[in-house]
Structure 1
Amino acid sequence: MIDEIHTGEPPDSRRKEKRKERRTLGPVPDLEEHVKSDWWKGIFNHLYLKTDGDVVDDRQITRTEIDLIIRILRLQPDEKILDLCCGQGRHTLELVRRGYSAEGIDRSHYLIQRARSTAKKEGLSVRFREGDARRLPYRTDTYDAALVLGNSFGYFDSVEEDLRILMELRRVLKPWGRILLDVADGEYLREHFQPRSWEWIDPSMFVCRERSLSLDGQRLISREVITDVDRGVMADQFYAERLYTDESLRRLLERAGFSGVAFHDIITESRRNQDLGMMERRRIVTAILKKEWSTARARGQERIKHVAVL
């Protein structure tokens, strides 16, 4: 078994970590056997921001991406925007800085705390919640637009679980709401992923990676062994992400009730310029939700129409 990774790095935790015995599994013949179904629950911590989140955790890169999102979705300042799987909140915060009404939700306690801390430091009024993307804590017909960015779609074992996310977005979006997904180009990565790589993350930490396709060829399985030159192995972790093609993603969005599906290319900018993994080639996918107001909201709208002004 591998030692559990802490979500923060207070000094007392670092001292405890030094006393722990850290181990790796060594060579493994089948990466997929070691992927837990809920791998995403514990992997998005302070190490993630060093090994993966740092690829795009840059203010200028974030500004460029938000420029693109605003243009593609034609966002208006009076619209309500949901940033699903918002991570440390870099996109949510940039939208709020520009005067948009946005809020974020993510499963990672650590990343949500980081987002809240940044908002507080900058004096921004923005709400961040912890929650499961398959069971959103929001009312029906609340948002004008929903964003799923940073390759945060396709983490679950089955396509049906991914569909549940889209169905929840269908519920919380208003009629004629828009959705934007930032996903890996599955067709490209299936043929061009790097089976092995290693890189220095900073002067004292490096990460070794292994990758392979799942048995059914539908997911990319990854392993990361993160090592500190002084403290030894920090993590030996496995995860899997679904490789959607344009056509399979179009069908899934249409099953969830979306229409007008369109695809846009996006170039991953990174100052690190090394192993970009799932971020090597990305696609922006947009769709529109043509639905009626929910019964409760429709009744509310009808009551407003019949209010007499005296």
Structure 2
Amino acid sequence: MDKPVIEDKTLYREALAGLQGSPKTLQSKWFYDRTGSDLFEQITTLPEYYPTRTETAILREQAGALAAYVQPGAALVELGSGASTKTRILLDHFDRLSAYVPVDISGDFLQQTAQGLARDYPQFQIIPVEGDFMGEVSLPAALGGVPKLAFFPGSTLGNLDPDAATDLLARVRRWDTISAFIIGIDLVKDTDMLIAAYDDAAGVTAAFNLNILKRLNRDIGADFDLAQFVHAARWNAAESRIEMHLVSKIAQTVMIGGQQIRFAEGESIHTENCRKYTADSFRAMAAKAGWQLDSFHTDKGRLFGVCALVP
């Protein structure tokens, strides 16, 4: 048998550690290869997936108010920028900006998006940074001393456990000349509505979840049979979060780089958390990281919140 090809040693190391644990886990950041990024953009347009359209409506309605947080010549730094779709709403209103800095782990997708933004917004410097916002983000030296406004939409903060979310807020708080942080959070609401948003009728979220196994097969020589795993979305009331899992249909053994990973029937890989907040719970967490909740914008149904933090 040929030795499996391991294209990504970091992915191999982190995936193996998660899959050898109990319970089995994979970090959600590995969803976003090119296919995963494309699938997520599809998810954002699904009828069940309220967060994107609701946050977008809030940003459109409140863009003028949020522009007050832009200092002259500031750089807008977005964490996990993806297709930068919602960012365009801010760029259309934040005329005092000098630069937009999209930060994303998916390098090819990032470069393609940056090229389109540079074409459409020639008045701003577009400075893409390939990186993982779960660690220290190395901003370009040219931004030293430039006022910075951070942007983190899409309720992505909810993917992190409370300690990791607080750490991320604290890291951004330590950026030099950081003036404010605009962040989207999903709010606690009806459980059936939450479950439907993460288990859509068309199966796009299921394909997005399963694609992480396809990536392991391609990039680290795993041999997952995707037909033997099924997507599941579960509400964890104690932790106030939706959980995404990949559940093994049968007892089976998967090989990863020569290592055996055994699954019992019904055993799952926990791939993502999507925590839901209240204004009070978010305010308390932000305060631990050195931020004050300066403004809180929501929709009429109180489905979603866009918050502005200041140091």
Fold conserved between structures, TM > 0.5: yes
Higher relative contact order (Cα pairs below 8 Å, separated by 6+ residues)? 2
Contact 1:263 1:284 in 2 (8 A): yes
State how far apart, in whole Å, the 2-side matches of 1:206 and 1:86 are. 18
Contact 2:59 2:306 in 1 (8 A): no
Residue 142 of structure 1: how far off its partner (Å): 4.2
State how far apart, in whole Å, the 1-side matches of 2:190 and 2:176 are. 31
Shift of the 178–73 alpha-carbon distance from structure 1 to 2, 3 Å rule, reads farther
Tell me the residue number matched to 1:39. Answer: 28
State how far apart, in whole Å, the 2-side matches of 1:197 and 1:42 are. 16
Shift of the 246–281 alpha-carbon distance from structure 1 to 2, 3 Å rule, reads same
Please show how residues 3-18 of structure 1 align to structure 2 within 5 Å: none
Shift of the 66–181 alpha-carbon distance from structure 1 to 2, 3 Å rule, reads same
Contact 1:82 1:104 in 2 (8 A): yes
The counterpart of 2:283, out of the listed 247, 250, 253, is 250
Instruction: Give the letter for the 2:195 counterpart.
Output: Q
Equivalent position SS for 1:240: strand
1:55 aligns to 2:47 (yes or no) = no
Contact 2:102 2:129 in 1 (8 A): yes
State how far apart, in whole Å, the 1-side matches of 2:305 and 2:81 are. 18
State how far apart, in whole Å, the 2-side matches of 1:118 and 1:237 are. 35
The counterpart of 1:68, out of the listed 46, 62, 69, is 62
Residue 215 of structure 1: how far off its partner (Å): 7.7
Please show how residues 143-292 of structure 1 align to structure 2 within 5 Å: 143-156=147-160, 158-172=161-175, 174=177, 177-185=179-187, 187-188=188-189, 192-194=193-195, 197-200=199-202, 210-214=232-236, 216-223=238-245, 238-266=271-299, 281-289=303-311
Tell me the residue number matched to 1:129. Answer: 129
Contact 2:283 2:293 in 1 (8 A): no
Please show how residues 10-29 of structure 1 align to structure 2 within 5 Å: none
* More helix by percentage: 2
State how far apart, in whole Å, the 1-side matches of 2:287 and 2:208 are. 42
Tell me the residue number matched to 1:18. Answer: none
Identity %: 14
Shift of the 216–35 alpha-carbon distance from structure 1 to 2, 3 Å rule, reads farther
**Which moved further from structure 2: 61-70 or 239-248?**
61-70
Aligned length: 231
User: Which ranges of structure 1 fall in alignment gaps of 5 or more residues?
Assistant: 1-31, 226-235, 269-279, 290-310
State how far apart, in whole Å, the 2-side matches of 1:86 and 1:206 are. 18
Equivalent position SS for 1:136: coil
1:84 aligns to 2:82 (yes or no) = no
Indicate the RMSD between aligned Cα atoms, in angstroms: 4.1
TM-score, normalised relative to structure 1: 0.59
Contact 1:89 1:112 in 2 (8 A): no
TM-score, normalised relative to structure 2: 0.59
User: Which ranges of structure 2 fall in alignment gaps of 5 or more residues?
Assistant: 1-21, 47-51, 210-229, 248-268
Equivalent position SS for 2:177: strand
Residue 183 of structure 1: how far off its partner (Å): 1.2
